[in-house]
């Protein structure tokens, strides 16, 4: 066979292969002018001849890419460089489809270009899919970054691969190889073991995770967090995607509510006990009286039990009055009936009142300045009686209570000192709170924990001050001031 017919056979084979390829292809001489297009190009453009196709190719190239090609193609021809570029070519129906164009120069042994071979691969679908993915990723990021939820993702090996901006703003920690270690380091030490165990077990079992723990926020403050996560499959297990939200305020509110409910229950327990005791003794007195009235009529004996029953009625009345006072204070309905009176007289009356119910104590008045005050006498006496009664009640092993009435600048200062059990340092700041009792469930000292709260309210309404100093085991001084009007 001759050399010419061999070459023809070779070219036929090349054309066959080139036409069978799913890509569009062309060749050109060193000057860049096309001298061959495969069938793919003819089918795509509808052109029938080489001449037609040479013009058509530039016409169907998208104007944006055409501008670039017109600039870059001559440069590449001159330099003999490879080209790889994405371009849109218009299909017969008028739609532009994305193509990946690659052009390679074939060079002789001296490096001189002898021909150019170009291929164009339709990448439209991939490009669209990628764009859609990018858009959905952008949507996801916008969504995930613009809310208060922390969002995180770990891969199938448990390595954190994504955290949203909320996380970065919350923790100041950024995505890096050490992130998991740093994140666990931010878990409150007492919660850490539980969290690690739970995460590990759920991860290995590929089940949804849920955990509540304290986590260190930027600035060092620990906050209660709630984290949920679900396994993801792609289609094989590909890790977890999870969220974490700051529930600290809700946790605190819940805790406060629980404490309040506990306090309420405690109060109900104490109140029932306090009410039951006088009722029981009253009942006993009345039963005895009933029996006595059947057998004998000794007025002295009968008076004794009537007086005992009355004592209990007084106790009950006091408890109910305290409860009513609290309601009045809470609803802002405590009325004051202000008058001018000599404070000393009032204190004397209170001492006499309290002395009726104590046998073991005596009162010593150290300073006794005569001072006129403008106040609600009944209410202020209620405060004085409460302080004197407490002084006696909380110093069962001592017998002296010291009282001082003195001028302190423009105020009157009244103080009561006992030498009793005193109040521990850490409890002192709560002493004027509603329902507060140092020995909450103590049976030794009866009371509802309302007296000092009511007293403080009464004095505050008079624009006075209340206070105390105390040492555990040594005694306490409770005092209040009232502004002097004259």
Binding site for ligand ADP (CB under 6 A): 386, 390-391, 394, 418, 420-423, 431, 436-439, 447-453, 476
For residue 278, count CB atoms less than 10 angstroms from its CB and return exposed for 0-12, middle for 13-18, buried for 19 or more.
Answer: buried
**CB nearer to ligand ADP: pick between 360 and 370:** 360
Could you tell me if 434 and 450 are in contact, meaning their C-beta atoms sit under 8 angstroms apart? yes
Determine the Cα–Cα distance for residues 271 and 449; give it in Å rounded to an integer: 10
Task: Output the smallest distance, CB 274 to ligand ADP, in A.
Answer: 8
Tokens of 475: 């005694």
| Closest of 85, 36, 30 to residue 57, by C-alpha | 36
Determine the Cα–Cα distance for residues 212 and 226; give it in Å rounded to an integer: 5
Tokens of 238: 């590909």
Could you tell me if 383 and 407 are in contact, meaning their C-beta atoms sit under 8 angstroms apart? no
Task: Output the smallest distance, CB 431 to ligand ADP, in A.
Answer: 5
Task: Output the smallest distance, CB 407 to ligand ADP, in A.
Answer: 24
Task: Output the smallest distance, CB 370 to ligand ADP, in A.
Answer: 26
What's the half-sphere exposure (Cβ side, CA atoms, 13 Å) at 194?
10
* Pairing between β-strand 83-90 and β-strand 96-107 as defined by DSSP bridges: antiparallel
Determine the Cα–Cα distance for residues 152 and 175; give it in Å rounded to an integer: 10
Tokens of 208: 């949804």
Task: Output the smallest distance, CB 323 to ligand ADP, in A.
Answer: 12
For residue 372, count CB atoms less than 10 angstroms from its CB and return exposed for 0-12, middle for 13-18, buried for 19 or more.
Answer: middle
**CB nearer to ligand ADP: pick between 451 and 464:** 451
Task: Output the smallest distance, CB 478 to ligand ADP, in A.
Answer: 6
**CB nearer to ligand ADP: pick between 18 and 384:** 384
Task: Output the smallest distance, CB 449 to ligand ADP, in A.
Answer: 4
**CB nearer to ligand ADP: pick between 193 and 439:** 439
Task: Output the smallest distance, CB 170 to ligand ADP, in A.
Answer: 43
**CB nearer to ligand ADP: pick between 194 and 396:** 396
Residue, CB closest to ligand ADP: 447
Rounded to 5 degrees, φ, ψ at 255 are -65, -45
Could you tell me if 89 and 97 are in contact, meaning their C-beta atoms sit under 8 angstroms apart? yes
The 3-state DSSP class for residue 271 equals helix
Task: Output the smallest distance, CB 224 to ligand ADP, in A.
Answer: 32
Determine the Cα–Cα distance for residues 274 and 184; give it in Å rounded to an integer: 51
**CB nearer to ligand ADP: pick between 105 and 449:** 449
Tokens of 295: 């057998």
Query: What residues contact residue 311 under an 8 Å CB cut-off, 6+ apart?
Result: 357
**CB nearer to ligand ADP: pick between 418 and 457:** 418
Query: What residues contact residue 212 under an 8 Å CB cut-off, 6+ apart?
Result: 224, 225, 226, 227, 247
Burial 159-194 (b: 16+ CB within 10 A, else e): ebebbbebbeebbebeeeeebeeebeebbeeebeee
Task: Output the smallest distance, CB 442 to ligand ADP, in A.
Answer: 8
| Closest of 128, 120, 74 to residue 100, by C-alpha | 120
Task: Output the smallest distance, CB 282 to ligand ADP, in A.
Answer: 20
């Amino acid at each position: 066979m001759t050399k010419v017919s061999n070459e023809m056979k070779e070219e036929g084979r090349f054309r066959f292969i080139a036409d069978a390829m799913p890509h569009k292809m062309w060749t050109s001489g060193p000057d860049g002018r096309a001298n061959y297009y495969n069938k793919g190009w003819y089918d795509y453009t509808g052109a029938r001849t080489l001449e037609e196709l040479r013009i058509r190719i530039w016409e169907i190239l998208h104007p944006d890419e055409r501008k670039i090609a017109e600039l870059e193609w001559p440069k590449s021809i001159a330099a003999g460089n490879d080209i790889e570029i994405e371009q849109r070519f218009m299909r017969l129906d008028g739609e532009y489809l994305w193509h990946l164009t690659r052009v390679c120069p074939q060079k002789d042994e001296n490096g001189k270009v002898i021909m150019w071979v170009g291929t164009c691969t339709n990448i439209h679908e991939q490009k669209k899919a990628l764009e859609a993915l990018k858009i959905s990723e952008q949507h996801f990021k916008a969504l995930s970054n613009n809310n208060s939820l922390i969002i995180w993702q770990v891969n199938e090996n448990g390595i954190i691969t994504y955290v949203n901006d909320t996380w970065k703003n919350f923790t100041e920690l950024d995505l890096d190889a050490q992130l998991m270690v740093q994140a666990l380091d931010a878990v409150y030490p007492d919660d850490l073991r539980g969290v690690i165990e739970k995460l590990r077990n759920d991860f290995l079992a590929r089940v949804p995770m849920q955990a509540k723990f304290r986590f260190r926020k930027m600035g060092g403050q620990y906050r209660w967090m709630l984290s949920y996560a679900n396994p993801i499959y792609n289609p094989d297990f590909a890790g977890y995607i999870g969220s974490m939200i700051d529930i600290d305020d809700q946790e605190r509110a819940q805790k406060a509510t629980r404490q309040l409910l506990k306090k309420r229950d405690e109060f109900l327990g104490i109140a029932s006990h306090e009410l039951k005791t006088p009722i029981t003794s009253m009942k006993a007195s009345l039963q005895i009286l009933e029996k006595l009235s059947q057998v004998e009529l000794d007025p002295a004996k009968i008076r004794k039990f009537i007086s005992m029953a009355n004592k209990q009625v007084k106790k009950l009345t006091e408890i109910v009055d305290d409860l009513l006072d609290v309601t009045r204070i809470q609803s802002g309905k405590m009325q004051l009936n202000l008058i001018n009176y000599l404070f000393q007289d009032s204190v004397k009356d209170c001492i006499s009142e309290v002395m009726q119910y104590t046998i073991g104590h005596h009162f010593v008045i150290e300073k006794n300045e005569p001072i006129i005050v403008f106040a609600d006498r009944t209410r202020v006496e209620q405060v004085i009686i409460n302080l004197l009664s407490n002084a006696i009640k909380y110093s069962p092993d001592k017998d002296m209570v010291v009282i001082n009435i003195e001028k302190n600048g423009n105020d009157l200062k009244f103080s009561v000192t006992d030498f009793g059990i005193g109040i521990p340092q850490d409890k002192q700041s709560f002493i004027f709170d509603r329902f507060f009792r140092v020995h909450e469930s103590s049976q030794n000292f009866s009371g509802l924990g309302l007296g000092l709260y009511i007293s403080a309210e009464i004095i505050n309404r008079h624009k006075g001050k209340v206070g105390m100093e105390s040492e555990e085991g040594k005694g306490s001084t409770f005092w209040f001031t009232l502004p002097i009007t004259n």
